[in-house]
């Protein structure tokens, strides 16, 4: 398959046969190396320009009454490109949200660890206090038995 998103325009990749569908496992692997920044800038503009030229060509062909590709198919190409751009942006937002979730989970884990350490410390202090209390009670009882 070929990616036409703004971040990876024209970049080839392998994917799950159901990629993008309801049964998709969302597996994909890039076939080629990452595209340079200039190409990422130029390719989407060229694709948009091609779409505009196809639309203007069809409009001029309709005036000349020549059979051409339907306007709906051209519009659907342009719509699919805009949908892919929106999906790419949505994917980036999801990644950011997952990063935030990881940060919150790590903070929660740290606070849970602190709470556990505090409870263990409190338990140890309680055991020490009880051992001193029982030891003093035992020594008092022992002292009372002496004449």
Q: C-alpha distances in angstroms, 137 versus 116, 126, 128?
A: 31, 16, 14
Residue 134 within a domain: no
pLDDT in the model for residue 92: 81
Q: What is the pLDDT of residues 69-116, one digit of tens each?
A: 555 555 566 667 777 777 777 778 888 888 888 888 888 888 888 888
Domain-located, residue 87: yes
Query: Could you report the per-residue pLDDT of 27-70, keeping only the tens digit for each?
Result: 778 887 776 777 777 877 888 888 888 888 888 777 666 555 55
Compute how many other C-beta atoms are within 10 angstroms of the C-beta atom of residue 83. Answer: 11
Task: Name the token pair of 130.
Answer: 């009880």
Split into its structural domains, the chain has a count of 1
Q: Is residue 68 part of a domain?
A: yes
Helix (H) or strand (E) holding 2: strand 2-3
The answer to whether residue 13 sits within a structural domain is yes
- Supply the range of the domain harboring residue 21: 2-121
pLDDT at 127: 93
Judge whether 45 lies within some domain.
yes
Q: What is the CA radius of gyration of the chain?
A: 35
- Residue owning tokens 């998709």: 24
DSSP state for residue 35 in the 8-state scheme: P
């Amino acid at each position: 398959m070929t990616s036409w998103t703004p971040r990876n325009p024209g970049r080839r990749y392998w994917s799950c046969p159901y990629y993008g569908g309801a049964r998709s496992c969302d597996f994909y692997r890039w076939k080629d190396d990452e595209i340079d920044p200039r190409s990422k800038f130029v390719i989407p503009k060229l694709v948009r320009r091609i779409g505009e030229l196809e639309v203007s060509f069809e409009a001029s062909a309709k005036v000349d009454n020549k059979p051409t590709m339907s306007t709906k198919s051209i519009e659907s190409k342009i719509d699919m490109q805009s949908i892919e751009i929106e999906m790419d942006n949505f994917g980036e937002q999801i990644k950011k949200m997952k990063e935030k979730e990881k940060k919150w989970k790590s903070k929660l884990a740290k606070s849970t660890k602190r709470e556990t350490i505090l409870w263990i410390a409190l338990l140890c202090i309680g055991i020490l206090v009880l051992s001193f209390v029982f030891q003093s009670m035992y020594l008092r009882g022992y002292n009372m038995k002496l004449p």
